Amino acid sequence: MSDVPVTPPGAFGPALTDPIPLCVDLDGTVVNTDCSWRSAAQLLSRDFLTFVRLAAGGWRGRAWLKREIGRRVRLPVELLPYNSEVISLINRERAAGRKVLLVTASDQSVADAVGAHLNLFDELIGSDGTTHLKGKAKAALLEKKFGSGRFDYVGDSRADVPVWEAARHAYLVRPSAAVRARMAGRASTTTVVRAEADAVNVLGVAVSPINMGIALERITGALARKEKGYICVTGVHGVSEAQSDPGFRAILNGAFLCTPDGMPLVWVGRWQGQRQMARVYGPDLMLATMKASEQKGWRHFFYGGANGTAEALRRRLLERHPKLEIVGTHEPPFRPLTAPEEERLKEEIGLARPDVMWIGLSTPKQERFMAAHLEKLEVTLMIGVGAAFDIHAGKARQAPAWMRRSGLEWLFRLVSEPRRLWKRYLKNNPLFVWRIFCQFTGLRKYPFPDKRNPIRAIREILG
């Protein structure tokens, strides 16, 4: 593994002259990591021997970890997990004539290398390679240099609250609820920067790093723009199926959203630094979308189920949300549609004009249907939710909330349907854990889809 290049003095450009500069933190803000064992393991897993050596040293505190990372690890700077939203913000501000400063306590050579690689910063301040600037010290440094309220600040940590309070405008990167509460009094001078990646890599499947709120925002935006796409609600079963079926993996990676339907996918995403990621469970996504539809006026069509399930689903949802527009249901045969059946479905959808078509066929059948029919049917979004049809139609039981939160829903379903599910869970779950171990230790490579590659996206942002 090559060393991070060290740039010569002055690599950050001319001296600062703008009276209201934009000051940007490095760790967790520009580079999506923080000083924790989890994030260190995430980066060190690219070099398994380094990972073992550092792990053998034992945990001796955050300061020790930062020194060890700086001393032992020299990752190629282009492999660091950058926050594309923060980079877009910086580019917009620089295009408007703003000066941008990198304010960091990171290792000097790493800060220099990141700045030179991204070509985003005009000056580096606050780092001598030995002092770790806490929030109050950082605020004092910037106030001394520019004056109170004479700088804007982009950061991601609760420790940055004193800096945001001293700034003219505060940019909060992926703020926690506690940070939002602390900054509530400055809502008019505060901007939240989400800064999640386009996707996280789960065994080569591009899973969207979202939560329910973000999912609804994306759905609302797509429907407002009439942007066609399909949404895969994916758990361990779907990711496992994709390992032996490149075509199915391509379908998942081509989705408008590939939501984390199971807690293991959420844990993998958080391990990769996406702290905002939470489970987007198919039945919950359906109910949340239906609730929003009462105000938005979206039109829905249900495709799937058997023995009256789709009609029962329509009836029960209308009892719950009387203002819903459910414009049709269709229960297909348990086989591929014939050409005449496809034509009749196309005519039915054309007359109903739904905004959202819900597909309840189970994985991987529903994903294949959506990929094959999205362009053929007059509908904006298709959402595959599988068992949500049976659950909301009252034909299947749902695991208790505590089991869903703790990642034990598979056990509930196994006990409920052992003959159908024993092979899936008792084979796929241990194999999934082993594959994830191999991915994070670098023992096996799971290439990320090119179109979702975050480094490629950053290069496009940088032009």
Q: How many structural domains comprise the chain?
A: 2
Give the list of residues 6+ apart from residue 135 with CB closer than 8 angstroms, or none.
157, 159, 160, 161, 162, 163
pLDDT tens digit string along 241-271?
Answer: 999 898 899 889 888 899 999 899 998 888 8
pLDDT tens sequence across 333-342: 888 889 899 9
Position 9 scores a pLDDT of 31
CATH number, domain with residue 124: 3.40.50.1000
Do 251 and 102 belong together in one domain? no
CATH number of the CATH domain containing 238: 3.40.50
pTM of the model: 0.64
- From 166, 137, 136, select the one nearest 151 (Cα to Cα): 166
Q: Is residue 356 part of a domain?
A: yes
- Asked if residue 98 is part of any domain, the answer here is yes
Q: What are the start-end ranges of the H helices in 10-105?
A: 37-44, 48-56, 62-72, 84-95
267 with 329, same domain: the answer is: yes
127 and 215 share a domain?
A: no
88 and 157 inside one domain: yes
Q: For residues 22 and 409, which has the higher predicted lDDT (pLDDT)?
A: 22
Q: Is residue 322 part of a domain?
A: yes
Q: Are 29 and 100 within one domain? A: yes
Whether residue 141 sits in one domain with residue 208: no
How far CA 257 is from CA of 230, 266, 383, in Å, comes to 7, 14, 9
**Span 309-339, pLDDT tens digits:** 889 999 999 998 999 999 999 998 888 889 8
The verdict on residue 420 lying in a domain is no
- Find the helix packing angle between 246-253 and 365-373, rounded to 10°: 60
Q: State the helix-helix crossing angle for 37-44 and 48-56, rounded to 10 degrees.
A: 150
Of the residues 355, 373, 392, which one is the last residue of a structural domain? 392
- Residues 171 and 208 occupy one common structural domain: no
Cβ contact 26:111 at 8 Å: yes
Torsion of CA 218, 221, 223, 229, to 10 degrees: -50
Residue 6 lies in a domain: no
- 151 with 53, same domain? yes
Range of the domain at 174: 22-193
- What is the reported pLDDT for 12? 43
Query: What is the average pLDDT across 14-41?
Result: 64
pLDDT of amino acid 55: 58
Q: Are residues 154 and 188 in the same domain?
A: yes
430 falls within a domain: no
Whether 207 and 63 map to the same domain: the answer is: no
CB 163 within 8 A of CB 155: yes
In a domain, residue 399? The reply is no
Are 175 and 209 in the same domain? no
Residues 376 and 258 in one domain: yes
Q: pLDDT above 70 covers what percent of the chain?
A: 77
